[in-house]
Amino acid sequence: MPSQITRCSHNASVLSKRIHDDLATRALDRGLPLAYIDHPVFFAPLPQPKLGLFDSREACYFLSEDLMSLPYEECFQIALHEAAHAAAFHTTGTLAHDEVFRSWCKALGADEAYSKAKVNMKTRSGLLDKIRKLEALSSSPFAAESEAAMRKVRELMASHKLEDDMEEEEAIYMVDLCPALSRISTRWTMLTAIASMQTGAYLVKVKDGDGYCIRAYGSQDELEVASYLVDVIGRAADKELARLRTKDPSYKGVTGINSFYYGVYDALHTRFQADERDGDEAAGALMVIREDNAVKTQRIVFPDTRLVNKSRSVRYNKGAYEGGKAFGKDLHVSKGIKKDGSKTPHLLA
């Protein structure tokens, strides 16, 4: 699974599978090497104006979630564009919009308009904006205004052949907070737990290929901050641990490393619990957010799976543990983010 934040919803799953299968069919029908383009498809909140990308490092396609509101053929054309990048990368090792890329676009049957570096989608986006504004008016308490707005929505959708499904479906986002590993280390377990505590992101250990990873679920803002915290706190803790190991042999070895990271987590967790007991609004809100994310994750992503909490035991080194606690006590992280993501965390070590 990718480290890019991606969308989890019923429509996203169905559409991703359809595009993946249609790309495979297109390659086989045209006698093209399937291995060049046979990669997972994900919908993601890509930054504007990017519509899609092929991630050569993780070998997967990311399509903008905004494309889900467009007719399937337009979405598939963007997928063909990215598949041409994938095939070109397999043959030349580059992702440029060069002659090789354009030849793959032609081989895959992508329309010429989608074989360029930029695709003009302004007309369609403007139309969607109009429809969204009209739909807002359709909830007006004034019957005549509401009826007129809905009539105009239907006219626009019919004339432009838009998909007749404009209602916002329930969705949640996901991101992998650590790479796929044969065994999740205590370091990753504690760092991701700290990120969850500070953001409300819900964590699940999942199988990924031949290994396991820790996947976080929540809003886009929550996951962006969680990824940031894992990276920044991880680098700061690694630096401190390396410094301590040069002075004290008790920090060396797996037991010393694990105990140090347990100490870091426990120090931050103790402070978080104290804030919650003292009625800190942010700490209380994050507990509610995490519970909401847990319920949504179960309902949307794992409807037929029973999620269980498992504790793990490790060998304990008191000196390394106390060193981790001391570092954690001096590590200052803002108390999290609001549900609208308006608060940015800062780290002071």
Residue 22 · residue 76 · CB < 8 Å: yes
* Whether residue 141 has a cis bond before it, omega within 30° of 0: no
Q: Which two tokens stand for residue 19?
A: 């595009």
Is 284 in the same domain as 251?
yes
Identify the pLDDT of residue 336: 46
Under 8 Å CB-to-CB from 239, ≥6 apart: which residues? none
Domain encompassing residue 29? 6-114
Q: How far is CA 97 from the centre of its chain?
A: 27
Is 181 in the same domain as 276?
yes
Is 28 in the same domain as 80?
yes
Q: Tell me: the pLDDT tens digits for 205-236? A: 988 878 899 999 999 989 998 999 899 899 99
278 domain residue, yes or no: yes
* 309 or 229: which leads in pLDDT: 229
Is the pLDDT at 2 greater than 80? The verdict is no
68 domain residue, yes or no: yes
Across 120-129, 264-273, 284-293, 310-319, least confident range: 120-129
165 domain residue, yes or no: no
Domains identified in the chain, total number: 3
Average pLDDT, the chain: 83
Q: Tell me: the pLDDT tens digits for 140-183? A: 555 566 667 666 666 665 555 444 444 568 999 999 999 888 88
Sheet of 52-55, strands arranged across: 41-44, 60-64, 52-55
Identify the pLDDT of residue 347: 40
Is 32 in the same domain as 155?
no
167 domain residue, yes or no: no
Question: 1 burial class (0-12, 13-18, 19+ CB within 10 angstroms)?
Answer: middle
CA-to-CA dists, residue 132 to 129, 137, 139, 180, angstroms: 5, 9, 11, 40
**Which residues make beta-bridge pairs with 204?**
215
Is 138 in the same domain as 90?
no
Cα separation, 284 vs 201, whole angstroms: 14
Distance between terminal CA atoms of the chain?
A: 32
Is 24 in the same domain as 154?
no
108 domain residue, yes or no: yes
**Identity (one letter) of the amino acid at 276?**
E
Is the pLDDT at 90 greater than 60? The verdict is yes
Model-level pTM? 0.78
Under 8 Å CB-to-CB from 325, ≥6 apart: which residues? 263, 264, 266, 267
Identify the pLDDT of residue 210: 82
**Which residues make beta-bridge pairs with 303?**
none
Final residue before a domain boundary, out of 136, 160, 184: 160
Is 269 in the same domain as 324?
yes
95: domain CATH number?
Answer: 3.30.2010.10
Across 39-53, 171-185, 201-215, 307-321, least confident range: 307-321
Is 126 in the same domain as 110?
no
Mean pLDDT across 239-268: 89
Is 182 in the same domain as 327?
yes
Identify the pLDDT of residue 341: 46
